[in-house]
């Protein structure tokens, strides 16, 4: 599943690599809000006779058509659209998540930590800090629900400054109480109320 697939370069490349080159028996779906772009992508898939590749118009938050998905990818899905995708992946029990976030606004508006005022007084620094803290929170939340999660540079910064990849594999490993309290300490310190934490509330309590 490619959430927020847009013009779908990644979706086509993934399908081509996994199904055509590697010969894996997979289906790929690209989902996006933009009807015209999705129709165009479906036409290209039909022309190429990529019969296990489909494109759907829809909102990640409302997407309920699959009961289980092995891998969820996102490339620059705007703001909390990345979190919606991560939450959906966890709820499906996806084995692999590869997610490159985009712009980040949520934490930027919540950040309130006087010890950080020296940094946060500068809009530019605040914006970058909020983005990095958000990705750290995302990776940590994935760890707390059984994923091994790492933040990596997937491409050189000259190509795009939005070059952090959240790579997560499901292992089922339970978090330690120290990991849980470190997470809580961090979000409390920032006054953060992460969308993803709210989405995963039930999983965090029972995992």
Contact residues toward ligand SAM (CB under 6 A) are 4-7, 9-10, 31-34, 59-61, 75-78, 81, 84, 102
In terms of CB distance, is 69 or 102 closer to ligand SAM? 102
How near is the Cβ of 189 to ligand SAM at its closest, in Å?
29
The residue nearest ligand SAM at its CB is 6
In terms of CB distance, is 31 or 107 closer to ligand SAM? 31
In terms of CB distance, is 31 or 168 closer to ligand SAM? 31
The H or E element containing residue 187 is helix 177-190
In terms of CB distance, is 33 or 132 closer to ligand SAM? 33
How near is the Cβ of 194 to ligand SAM at its closest, in Å?
17
Q: Which tokens is 80 given?
A: 């909390």
Return the half-sphere exposure (C-beta side, CA atoms, 13 A cut-off) of residue 129.
19
Maximum distance among all alpha carbons in the chain?
57
In terms of CB distance, is 5 or 104 closer to ligand SAM? 5
How near is the Cβ of 60 to ligand SAM at its closest, in Å?
4
Say if strands 164-170 and 71-77 run parallel, antiparallel, or are unpaired.
unpaired
How near is the Cβ of 200 to ligand SAM at its closest, in Å?
17
Please give the angle made by the CA atoms of 16, 22 and 27, to the nearest 5 degrees: 55
How near is the Cβ of 20 to ligand SAM at its closest, in Å?
20
In terms of CB distance, is 54 or 179 closer to ligand SAM? 54
Which pairs count as long-range contacts for 193-197, CB under 8 Å and 24+ apart, including other chains?
193/110, 194/83, 194/106, 194/107, 194/134, 194/137, 194/138, 194/141, 195/80, 195/83, 195/84, 195/106, 196/83, 196/86, 196/87, 196/137, 196/138, 196/141, 197/137, 197/141
């Amino acid at each position: 599943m490619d959430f927020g697939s847009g013009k779908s370069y990644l979706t086509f490349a993934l399908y081509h690599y996994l199904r055509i080159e590697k010969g894996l028996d997979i289906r790929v779906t690209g989902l996006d809000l933009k009807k015209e772009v999705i129709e165009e992508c479906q036409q290209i898939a039909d022309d190429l006779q990529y019969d296990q590749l489909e494109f759907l118009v829809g909102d990640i938050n409302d997407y309920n058509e699959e009961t289980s998905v092995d891998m969820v990818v996102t490339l620059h899905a705007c703001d909390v659209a990345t979190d919606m995708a991560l939450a959906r992946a966890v709820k499906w029990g996806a084995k692999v998540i590869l997610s490159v976030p985009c712009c980040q606004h949520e934490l930027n508006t919540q950040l309130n930590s006087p010890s950080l005022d020296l940094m946060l007084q500068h809009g530019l620094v605040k914006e970058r800090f909020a983005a990095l803290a958000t990705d750290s929170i995302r990776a940590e939340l994935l760890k707390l629900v059984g994923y091994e999660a790492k933040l990596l540079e997937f491409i050189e910064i000259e190509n795009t400054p939005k070059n952090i990849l959240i790579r997560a594999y499901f292992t089922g490993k339970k978090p330690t109480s120290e990991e849980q309290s470190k997470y809580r300490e961090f979000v409390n310190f920032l006054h953060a109320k992460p969308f993803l934490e709210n989405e995963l509330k039930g999983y965090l309590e029972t995992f």
